[in-house]
A and B are shown apart, each in its own frame.
Chain A
């Protein structure tokens, strides 16, 4: 049997806006993926350690606080340190276009803006996240 894709959905930083992240977590679960949601107020260290422990194939970060550049960079660095750089990283939130380009340069696979249909996120995961 083919291994199911496991995804860690996380809220890094102090941001409390969790409407979007809960919708995305539920949509990914309904699409048949295994979803682990960290809950709010996670540090990058907590997220990466959970990702490694849970042996996930992708991490989705939701950030609406403006701290996205700092937090994505930190998570990416820690993943490399943990030799887990192959875990796909994607995200969404209130992120200006200019910063989306910056995040893509960092190696973030996709950044979904407000208004993105959940189907689009599911399709992206199906196409880009592999079970190794």
Chain B
């Protein structure tokens, strides 16, 4: 029979058959491999009722300029029906630099909001009730510092730490694999993560301590299976590190969460989320002997694929994002960010963000897909693909185990090289038109109209540096010195750094003062520049 291609493959180059049927599922056991939603191994979802009980959290990642401007954007989003906050920080903040440092020049407030001290954090959440809104913060190297700032803001609002809910990304391993915003070398970075988990287990039991992220691994060019395998391997590394510290697995594992990408290939993505839940449940139960069901259940946030958006014919991005978001929902996500159509050009305008948020609301309220749980479960194709992704991911996890764990694999440059290879392969497939991208390598239009885009001017930098100057003039310098010296001691002696960080934050020490204090003990990391 004639077919228009020799081979059909997913975006990740996984071959797909003409038709799937019972023969693809020999050995498949519905009770063992699917189970009921809300029960082990959670393949069909982590709640028995899923979106019939509660919709996912609509959480748009947002931040730009100074805390004053971003606070306004948050209030705008909450007014338009957004149900949680998600903070984007600028590059200096992500790397632990202050706005008045030379390294920060040209970058202040550009990719997110600039935060230097507790004073900025107070402004950022001004008028936002931290006992009602949950906040996700995308911060990794200096995550414990920003988290300390958040706790102190909550305390000043009169909200006790056991009431604050939210997430810090805090996934340092994927920084070395893909995202590249680190503060310390891998080993001390891991230690600080474990410090923070240990602290939260005692003092902030509702806080999600890490968002173990495949998103950036995928954005860096990995396949769906690599995203899955590397992310779960990172998860395993964190659990191992916590257990080694002496924490009981059921005391911290329920607060681990995940973060995946939603790319273009609809069924591959749905299969990826379903496989993720099944693998994690089995890993937690069989490998780590967790007894609490909440330790087995993989909860995750999803963001649509930024790297799939095109600068050419940007309105097409609305459609791409809608399809990707639909995959996330069909895959049972707990929260979702939909990208705005203009994000290949700049940070999004208010108008573009609203369209992105409306996309989620249309899926939730108009499409009907939320009426039943795991609507694709039982499809020969989806179940086969779920099995295949599971198999591929388990093979990667095994390989990493054989290397001696993820830290070793990173030191060998293995995940970095795997991703770079996959990314180059995909680029070649686009250039030979083996993969079609509408508006880029096919269906190209010549008459494109420029979009209106958000501009962050140098005025922002000036204003931020001025804010910082005022804070420095007003604070008690000797108190700062004293708290930083306690921090240094904790870092050097292996004590938990969280308490000294909270004290330094209270004294209005700057982000860089705290980071530099820890760097003086932990050292720095240099990019191995593998390509």
Chain B residues contacting A65 (CB-CB under 8 Å) are: 91, 107, 110-111
A14-B107, A66-B110, A71-B106 as given contacts; A115 in contact with B440, CB under 8 Å: yes
Chain B residues contacting A39 (CB-CB under 8 Å) are: 526-529
Q: Does B434 contact A (CB under 8 A)?
A: no
Which of B104, B105, B179, B430 has the most chain A CB atoms inside 10 A of its CB? B105
Q: Are B346 and A96 in contact (CB under 8 A)?
A: yes
Q: Does B304 contact A (CB under 8 A)?
A: no
Q: Which of B107, B344, B346, B347 touches A114 (beta carbons < 8 Å)?
A: B344
Chain A residues contacting B312 (CB-CB under 8 Å) are: 115
A-contacting residues, B307-324, CB 8 Å: 307, 310-312
Which of B107, B221, B346, B420 has the most chain A CB atoms inside 10 A of its CB? B107
Chain B residue nearest in CB terms to A41: B527
Chain A residue nearest in CB terms to B444: A115
Q: Name the interface size band of chain A.
A: 35 or more
Chain B residue nearest in CB terms to A64: B111
Q: Are A25 and B531 in contact (CB under 8 A)?
A: yes
Q: Does B181 contact A (CB under 8 A)?
A: yes
Q: Are A118 and B106 in contact (CB under 8 A)?
A: no
A interface: dominant SS: loop
Q: Does A32 contact B (CB under 8 A)?
A: no
**Nearest-Cβ distance from residue B436 to partner chain A, whole angstroms:** 13
Stretch from A15-23, A52-60, A79-87, A123-131 that touches the partner:
A15-23
Q: Are B307 and A67 in contact (CB under 8 A)?
A: no
A39-B528, A39-B529, A117-B431 as given contacts; A16 in contact with B456, CB under 8 Å: no
Q: Are B424 and A23 in contact (CB under 8 A)?
A: yes
Q: Are A26 and B346 in contact (CB under 8 A)?
A: no
Q: Does B453 contact A (CB under 8 A)?
A: yes
Q: How many residues of B contact A (CB 8 A)?
A: 46
Q: Does B423 contact A (CB under 8 A)?
A: yes
Q: Does B437 contact A (CB under 8 A)?
A: yes
Interface residues as binary, B74-96 with A (CB distance below 8 Å gives 1, 0 otherwise):
00000000000000000110110
Chain A residue nearest in CB terms to B221: A19
Q: Are A22 and B527 in contact (CB under 8 A)?
A: no
Q: Are B529 and A67 in contact (CB under 8 A)?
A: no
Q: Are A40 and B529 in contact (CB under 8 A)?
A: yes
Chain B residue nearest in CB terms to A12: B106
B-contacting residues, A31-84, CB 8 Å: 37-41, 43, 65-67, 69-71, 74
How far apart are the CA atoms of A13 and B150 in the complex, in Å?
Answer: 27
Chain A residue nearest in CB terms to B309: A114
Which of B97, B105, B427, B531 has the most chain A CB atoms inside 10 A of its CB? B531
Q: Does A97 contact B (CB under 8 A)?
A: yes
How far apart are the CA atoms of A118 and B314 in the complex, in Å?
Answer: 21
Chain A residues contacting B530 (CB-CB under 8 Å) are: 22
Q: Are A115 and B437 in contact (CB under 8 A)?
A: yes
**Nearest-Cβ distance from residue A129 to partner chain B, whole angstroms:** 20
Chain A residues contacting B431 (CB-CB under 8 Å) are: 117-119
Q: Are A70 and B221 in contact (CB under 8 A)?
A: no
Which positions in B face A, CB cutoff 8 Å? 91-92, 94-95, 97, 102-107, 110-111, 175, 179-181, 219-221, 307, 310-312, 344-347, 420, 423-424, 427, 430-431, 437, 440-441, 450, 453, 456, 526-531
Q: List 13 A-B contacts (CB under 8 A).
A: A13-B91, A14-B94, A15-B107, A19-B219, A22-B423, A26-B531, A65-B91, A65-B107, A66-B107, A66-B347, A66-B456, A94-B344, A96-B453
Shortest 3 CB-CB distances between A and B: which pairs?
Answer: A70-B106, A16-B180, A39-B529
